[in-house]
């Protein structure tokens, strides 16, 4: 009981300080005091798991997103390092050191060059004051609150000098990078090209909670500004790192002669591939700080350091086959199946070929001998084809032809959207996409199905309970309640609870929201939920303005006419076309719904899958209704081109008279049946009869279609 009270007290207090610190930027206590309270709370919570609270400050990183990063000057400029690329250049670098220091042997260290993002940590009186990016070298962005989420960076130091600036590299371990990309792929998000990009992208996030969820790490590699630190060499610097629990850059070599230096560079090359992060070189540094001082710097880089860059290892191998993966969003990715080959520390047997355009650009063919390397030392890629080794009978590779325009996973139709490079499967029921589609269907902006997130969708698909979204409506309370989920992990990722059932309570809630979706969710949510290419939320909303029920869509004349308009041109032109179309003009369709979207809708509803969806919906008696149905927008008639004008229509026109009536009315005009002196215009088509003469006698202006058109423009 005593502990419970203390836990509650600490949570309250910490939340308070959290808010002061992050939200109001007016901390009342030091970082050290904060940490002490935090640790006390953590310990108490660990000892009392029954008092676990997901909202405890220990369970999250506090703070709300920033609006932007503040800039700040570096205490000392953050310089770069000069790159060298060959043994000769290493020899030249060493000779220059010998000459400038007038010494034969010079103690050096050799360590990995980490492929990450440079960062400066400024500790004052033992606590992290702020952290900056390199920026332009003289000032950088203040990314302190993002840096605080990196567990390996101590927020406080012990017996530290009054000022200690530690410079180092923020990076993402390869393993964490892969996991992150898998996760993003599953959520239908763009994946990062390499760990460096992922790191840079993450540090730019303004929301520290998002940063906290990314696997960033840090290694210290340099000393910035310092006061009263008594550091005189790289060796001293490294013992400080050790003392302060700051992660050092390892492995480390020492050398004092050129042959020793070259050996170290070679040894580092073979050792670096077993590190769980990208490295692309060896940083060579003079050990002694007095010697560094003597050597000095250029405006760009110090003369006491150099970065030897390793060339990416390249190997030739045979491209045995090209397989095609169906991604969880239906994207078809060609993958080169290679004769296994050892490159940069691992065996490579597959490499992505990205897409058809990339295959054409490199003219990659099955049976080719190709050159493989690991881009950024991580991801295998095909550099080029050795065309001289090409078998005579080889043929250019064309993905859609090979697939016979069918998805390799489900046999459904594949298509390539205008302006995109990827071919994709458009089948609503494609099993490779089942999880993505169900998750999208259930998402908040679609049908908002309570308790149905990705992990539950995965289990439904794995257990064959659902292969497409509409299967959800036939699930029973029992099936859902008994569904086994993955064991839950604790926040430290170490302890795993036993398997969990979805459970009756959550099952009941989910069935409730399915029933709600069936009867209450508006048409636009349903259209969006179907995940038809190019039909986003806004297009769905516009479609539901124009149609009353889902069953109106397959037969819609509006969609048909829109689909017939020429494809994507510049916005202004397509808009003009929409307005000029005699049938479409009156609807004033906004730019969220264009010809391409309409074509996609048409092909969806006419496809076998689309037909099945319609059939299934009618079996389930689902026919969602629009809640914004208003095909003819109420227009402010006063400033429309025809406002206040009265028309009479006669003769044969290019479309039925009611169509013209709609156009005139949509532009603010009135249409009357009988001519009088109050009539402003007679719209006269061919074979106009007596009305023509009457109009003349009443001095009513006579218009043909062209004349009307002019008025509308
Ligand atoms: S020492 C005066 N050591 O490479 C520069 N830098 O190209 C002293 N880097 O911005 C830097 N690994 O962020 C040093 N082991 C290492 C490094 C390293 C990566 C980065 C550093 C710097 C860039 C220069």
- Our mutation pick for probing the ligand 1 site, out of 115, 169, 275, counting the most ligand atoms within 8 A of Cβ, is 169
Which DSSP symbol is given to 377? T
Q: Does any ligand 1 atom lie closer than 6 A to the CB of residue 691?
A: no
Average pLDDT for the chain: 88
**Whether pLDDT at 60 is above 60:** no
| Model confidence band, residue 569 (pLDDT cutoffs 50, 70, 90) | very low
Which residues lie across from 140 on neighbouring strands?
A: 72
| Model confidence band, residue 687 (pLDDT cutoffs 50, 70, 90) | confident
For 466-495, give the DSSP string: -SSGGGGGG--HHHHHHPEEPPPBPTTS--
Give the list of residues 6+ apart from residue 349 with CB closer than 8 angstroms, or none. Answer: 337, 338, 339, 340, 341
Handedness of CA 121, 123, 127, 129 (dihedral sign): negative
Atom 20 in ligand 1: residue holding the nearest Cα = 118
Q: Give the three-state DSSP class for 166.
A: strand
**Whether pLDDT at 568 is above 60:** no
112 Cα nearest atom in ligand 1: 15
Residue appearing with tokens 């400029």: 77
Q: Worst-scoring range by mean pLDDT, 146-150, 526-530, 633-637?
A: 633-637
Q: Does any ligand 1 atom lie closer than 6 A to the CB of residue 249?
A: yes
CA of 155 to the centre of ligand 1 (A): 22
Q: pLDDT of 159-189, one tens digit each?
A: 889 999 999 999 999 999 989 988 887 776 7
What ranges in 219-275 are assigned the alpha helix state H?
Answer: 234-243, 258-272
Residue 592: per-residue pLDDT: 84
Fold of the CATH domain 523-619: DNA polymerase; domain 1 (1.10.150)
Of the candidate CATH numbers 1.10.287.610, 3.40.50.970, 3.90.580.10, 3.10.20.310, the domain formed by 2-52 belongs to: 1.10.287.610
* Residue 84 to residue 283: CA distance in whole angstroms: 10
Q: Does any ligand 1 atom lie closer than 6 A to the CB of residue 219?
A: no
Q: Comparing 53 with 222, which gets the higher pLDDT?
A: 222
Mean pLDDT over residues 505-512, rounded?
A: 95
**Whether pLDDT at 680 is above 70:** yes
Atom 3 in ligand 1: residue holding the nearest Cα = 221
**Whether pLDDT at 23 is above 50:** no
CA of 670 to the centre of ligand 1 (A): 75
CA of 83 to the centre of ligand 1 (A): 11
What ranges in 620-671 are assigned the alpha helix state H?
Answer: 657-666
**Whether pLDDT at 666 is above 50:** yes
| Model confidence band, residue 1 (pLDDT cutoffs 50, 70, 90) | low
Q: Give the three-state DSSP class for 352.
A: strand
**Whether pLDDT at 564 is above 90:** no
Q: Does any ligand 1 atom lie closer than 6 A to the CB of residue 222?
A: yes
| Model confidence band, residue 25 (pLDDT cutoffs 50, 70, 90) | low
**Whether pLDDT at 615 is above 70:** yes
Mean pLDDT over residues 676-687, rounded?
A: 90
Q: Does any ligand 1 atom lie closer than 6 A to the CB of residue 234?
A: no
- Our mutation pick for probing the ligand 1 site, out of 84, 85, 112, 114, counting the most ligand atoms within 8 A of Cβ, is 114
**Whether pLDDT at 62 is above 50:** no
Residue ranges of domains in the chain: 2-52, 83-309, 314-404, 431-519, 523-619, 646-712
**Whether pLDDT at 570 is above 60:** no
249 Cα nearest atom in ligand 1: 15
Residue 586: per-residue pLDDT: 81
3-state helix, strand, coil in the chain (%, to 5): 40, 20, 40
Atom 22 in ligand 1: residue holding the nearest Cα = 80
CA of 114 to the centre of ligand 1 (A): 8
Q: pLDDT of 427-468, one tens digit each?
A: 877 888 899 899 999 999 999 999 999 889 999 998 999 989
222 Cα nearest atom in ligand 1: 1
Fold of the CATH domain 83-309: D-amino Acid Aminotransferase; Chain A, domain 1 (3.30.470)
Please determine whether the domains at 2-52 and 523-619 fall in the same fold group of CATH: no
**Whether pLDDT at 583 is above 90:** no
Superfamily of domain 431-519: 5' to 3' exonuclease, C-terminal subdomain (1.10.150.20)
Give the list of residues 6+ apart from residue 107 with CB closer than 8 angstroms, or none. Answer: 254, 255, 256, 286, 287, 288
CA of 663 to the centre of ligand 1 (A): 68
Fold of the CATH domain 646-712: Rossmann fold (3.40.50)
Question: Torsion-angle region of residue 89: left (phi > 0), alpha (psi -120 to 50) or beta?
Answer: alpha
Task: Name the phi and psi angles at 160, rounded to 5.
Answer: -90, 155
Q: Judging by DSSP bridges, how do beta strands 108-114 and 279-286 pair with one another?
A: antiparallel
| Model confidence band, residue 608 (pLDDT cutoffs 50, 70, 90) | confident
Most confident of 185-199, 579-593, 612-626: 612-626
281 Cα nearest atom in ligand 1: 12
Q: Does any ligand 1 atom lie closer than 6 A to the CB of residue 113?
A: yes
Atom 17 in ligand 1: residue holding the nearest Cα = 113
118 Cα nearest atom in ligand 1: 13
DSSP E strand stretches across 38-115: 71-73, 83-84, 108-114
Q: Does any ligand 1 atom lie closer than 6 A to the CB of residue 437?
A: no
Model confidence, pTM: 0.52
**Whether pLDDT at 117 is above 60:** yes
Q: Worst-scoring range by mean pLDDT, 197-206, 330-339, 410-419, 697-706?
A: 410-419
- Our mutation pick for probing the ligand 1 site, out of 222, 300, 376, counting the most ligand atoms within 8 A of Cβ, is 222
Of the candidate CATH numbers 2.40.50.140, 1.10.357.10, 2.60.40.10, 3.40.630.40, the domain formed by 314-404 belongs to: 2.40.50.140
Q: Give catalytic residues, as residue numbers.
A: 113
Q: Does any ligand 1 atom lie closer than 6 A to the CB of residue 521?
A: no
Residue 189: per-residue pLDDT: 72
Q: pLDDT of 386-435, one tens digit each?
A: 999 999 999 999 999 999 999 998 898 898 876 778 898 988 778 888 99
Q: Comparing 184 with 653, which gets the higher pLDDT?
A: 653
* Residue 409 to residue 337: CA distance in whole angstroms: 18
**Whether pLDDT at 92 is above 80:** yes
Q: Does any ligand 1 atom lie closer than 6 A to the CB of residue 424?
A: no
Q: Judging by DSSP bridges, how do beta strands 253-255 and 314-326 pair with one another?
A: unpaired
CA of 446 to the centre of ligand 1 (A): 47
Residue 609: per-residue pLDDT: 82
Residue 577: per-residue pLDDT: 56
Q: Comparing 234 with 591, which gets the higher pLDDT?
A: 234
CA of 133 to the centre of ligand 1 (A): 13
Q: At what angle do helices 608-619 and 595-606 cross, to 10 degrees?
A: 70
Q: Does any ligand 1 atom lie closer than 6 A to the CB of residue 258?
A: no
* Residue 219 to residue 166: CA distance in whole angstroms: 10
Residue 441: per-residue pLDDT: 95
Residue 16: per-residue pLDDT: 74
């Amino acid at each position: 009981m005593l502990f419970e009270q203390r836990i509650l007290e600490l949570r309250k207090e910490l939340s308070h300080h959290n808010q002061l610190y992050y939200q109001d930027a007016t901390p009342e206590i030091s970082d050290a005091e904060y940490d002490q309270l935090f640790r006390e709370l953590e310990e108490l919570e660990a000892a009392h798991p029954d008092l676990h609270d997901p909202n405890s400050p220990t369970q999250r990183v506090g703070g709300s997103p920033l609006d932007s990063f503040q800039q700040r000057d570096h205490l000392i400029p953050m310089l770069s390092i000069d790159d060298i690329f060959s043994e000769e250049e290493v020899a030249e670098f060493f000779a220059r050191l010998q000459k400038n220091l007038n010494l034969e042997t010079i103690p050096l260290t050799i360590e990995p060059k980490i492929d990450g993002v440079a960062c400066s940590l400024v500790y004052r009186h033992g606590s992290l004051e702020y952290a900056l990016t390199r920026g332009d070298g003289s000032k950088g962005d203040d990314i302190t609150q993002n840096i605080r989420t990196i567990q390996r960076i101590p927020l406080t130091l012990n017996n530290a000098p009054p000022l200690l600036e530690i410079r180092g590299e923020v990076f993402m371990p390869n393993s964490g990078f892969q996991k992150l990309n898998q996760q993003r792929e599953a959520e239908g998000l763009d994946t990062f090209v390499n760990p460096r990009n992922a790191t840079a992208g993450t540090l730019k996030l303004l929301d520290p909670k998002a940063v906290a969820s990314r696997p960033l790490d840090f290694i210290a590699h340099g000393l910035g500004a310092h006061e009263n630190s008594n550091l005189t060499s790289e060796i001293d610097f490294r013992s400080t790192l050790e003392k302060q629990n700051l992660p050092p850059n390892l492995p480390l070599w020492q050398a004092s002669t050129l042959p020793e230096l070259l050996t170290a560079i070679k040894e580092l090359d073979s050792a670096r591939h077993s590190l769980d992060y990208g490295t692309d070189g060896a940083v060579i540094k003079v050990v002694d700080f007095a010697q560094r001082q003597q050597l000095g710097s250029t405006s760009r880089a110090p003369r006491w350091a150099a970065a030897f860059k390793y060339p990416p290892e390249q190997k030739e191998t045979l491209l045995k086959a090209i397989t095609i993966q169906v991604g969880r969003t239906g994207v078809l990715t060609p993958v080169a199946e290679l004769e296994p080959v050892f490159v940069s520390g691992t065996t490579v047997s597959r490499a992505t070929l990205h897409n058809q355009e990339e295959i054409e650009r490199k003219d990659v063919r099955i049976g080719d001998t190709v050159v493989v390397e690991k881009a950024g030392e991580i991801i295998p890629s095909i550099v080029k084809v050795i065309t001289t080794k090409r078998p005579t009978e080889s043929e250019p590779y064309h993905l859609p032809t090979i697939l016979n325009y069918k998805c390799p996973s489900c046999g459904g139709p594949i298509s390539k959207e205008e302006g995109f490079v990827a071919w994709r499967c458009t089948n609503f029921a494609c099993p490779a996409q089942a999880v993505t589609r169900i998750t999208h269907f259930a998402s908040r902006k679609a049908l908002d199905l309570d308790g149905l997130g990705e992990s539950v969708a995965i289990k439904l698909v794995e257990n064959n309970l659902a292969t497409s979204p509409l299967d959800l409506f036939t699930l029973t309370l029992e099936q859902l309640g008994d569904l086994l989920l993955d064991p839950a992990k604790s926040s430290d990722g170490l302890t795993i609870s036993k398997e969990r059932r979805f459970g009756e309570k959550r099952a009941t809630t989910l069935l409730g929201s399915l029933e709600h979706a069936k009867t209450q969710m508006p048409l636009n949510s349903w259209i969006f939920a179907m995940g038809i290419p190019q039909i986003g939320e806004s297009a769905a909303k516009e479609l539901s303005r124009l149609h009353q029920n889902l069953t109106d869509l397959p037969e819609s004349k509006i969609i048909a006419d829109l689909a017939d308009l020429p494809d994507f041109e510049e916005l202004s032109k397509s808009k003009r076309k929409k307005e000029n179309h005699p049938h479409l003009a009156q609807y004033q369709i906004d730019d969220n719904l264009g010809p391409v979207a309409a074509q996609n809708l048409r092909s969806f509803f006419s496809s076998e899958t689309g037909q099945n969806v319609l059939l299934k919906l009618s079996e389930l008696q689902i026919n969602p209704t629009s809640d914004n149905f208003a095909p003819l927008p109420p227009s402010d008639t006063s400033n429309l081109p025809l406002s206040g004008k009265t028309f009479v229509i006669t003769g044969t026109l290019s479309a039925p008279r009611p169509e013209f009536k709609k156009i005139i009315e949509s532009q603010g005009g009135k249409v009357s049946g009988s001519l009088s002196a109050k009539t402003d215009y007679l719209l006269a088509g061919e074979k106009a009869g007596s009305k023509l003469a009457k109009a003349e006698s009443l001095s009513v202006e006579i218009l043909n279609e062209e004349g009307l058109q002019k008025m509308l423009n």
